Amino acid sequence: MAIMQGETLVTEIRQLDQKGSGLAVVWRENELGTPKKLKLTIPRTLPGEKVRVAVDRPEKRRTKAIPEEILEAHPERILPPCPHFERCGGCVWQHWAYEGQLKQKTAHVKEAIAAQGFDPALVRDTIRMDEPWHYRNKMEFTFAPDGSLGLHEQGNFRKIIPLETCLIAGKEMVEGAMEVAAWVKERGLKGYDKDKHEGLLRHLMVRQSFATGEMMLALFATEAPDGDLEEAARDLSERIGRKFPQVKSLLWLENTQWADRTQAEKTHVLSGRDFIYDEMSGYGYRLWFDTFFQTNPVQAQKLVDLAIEMGQPKKTEKMIDLFCGVGTFSLPFADRVGELAGIEIVETSIESAKRNAKDNGISNTYFLAKDARKGIDEVLESFGKPELLLLDPPRSGAGGKVMRKIGRARPQRIVYVSCNPDTFATDIKELEPFGYKLTAVQPVDLFPHTTHVECVSQIVLKL
């Protein structure tokens, strides 16, 4: 029961939304005495908690509320260790003990597949991280118009929270980012204003291989590092080289587009090369600033191991790796099958996959840069029917048309690696009419303190 006190409400959190915020409902009477429902979204709350919240627009049907006081706390509530947690949008669950987060992620996967008619008992407990901090090998920070470096505020894309630390990024990455931030302040450089479309510095991308230790610092700016900026760029290169010998790639990337993305029209290498070396599963990879690679290498290795375990690859078999990227799954599987064909729409990723296969001495692969739906047809015609198919689509899923093409191709075994349990569940539903059965789903926590969860699943053709 909720009690209204002006614009202050006391209510109970019923459940969490997909972004990790609490949901509550308040019933009030309007001027005619008719009950009216007010739906509240309350960040930094947990299921079952009783909270006092401030509501700016109580007359609306749905609104966001700020928690003023936790009156009855969830037993798994803890103090968030990061000083930026209440404002920064990088994490949403630092106030929740890690075991509680894992249970919530398992429940999410079970609910998603149950909604499509699958047995939730097929879902195993989410595989945890032994050390759920400083796990990311890539971060993208944003500059505020005054030159401060940080991350976006929760729910406010235009507000940048200046950072002193980041507990989910690798420690050396944070140190490198803070050095760049200090250089910007000392030089009096301005950040990019998204409203006025003016200013110099837009983003800083930091990525580091946990295997090789090599680091990349990529600065995105609206101008080239010449003229008045040449001396400043030289100073940055010298101080990074002096303090961070592990930085093997220091880049200045020109981006004059209005879209707020880490893209580049021209690359300037201030020091080192334009890529770094990384390793996974014993295979070497070259990573450029725009290369997609798993951002949690510890847990990504578990994804690969699980995919191999569920896929049961054999040297006598053909395999298709759909949405193959730069070959994260392709290379370890290629060593275990007779032939492997990889399909990926991003041409630069396919070029990287080819190069990575060559660098690792793998010669039984064929990579095609094409949309998944059309690519399957082309590969089936030239490559033949595969016994094994792996797909690792984006969050939007593979889609019904692609899944039906997979069903008609009739591979004996399918391994689906997913970063979105909801689209995963709707995708695999498409395979049932073709005689496929879901046999196992293993969630893996790649992103502690966020709502995201990955899954590896095994799907087999019933004889």
* Residue with the two structure tokens 């998204």: 194
DSSP helix/strand/coil, 383:
helix
Regarding beta strands 22-29 and 8-12, do their DSSP bridges make them parallel or antiparallel, or are they unpaired? unpaired
Catalytic entry in 82, 91, 324, 419: 419
Q: How far lies 190's CA from each of 178, 250, 333, 408, 410, in Å?
A: 16, 20, 47, 56, 56
CA distance 383 to 390: 15
Residues 6+ apart with CB under 8 A from 155: 43, 64, 89
Regarding beta strands 388-391 and 318-322, do their DSSP bridges make them parallel or antiparallel, or are they unpaired? parallel
Give the DSSP per-residue string, 227-279: GGGHHHHHHHHHHHHHH-TTEEEEEEEE---SS-SS--SEEEEEEE-S-EEEE
CA distance 415 to 309: 10
Number of neighbouring beta carbons within 10 Å of residue 301: 16
Residue 88 catalytic?
A: no
CA distance 165 to 171: 9
Residues 6+ apart with CB under 8 A from 240: 176, 179, 180, 217, 247, 250, 271
Looking at residue 92, its amino acid is: V
Annotated catalytic residues are: 419
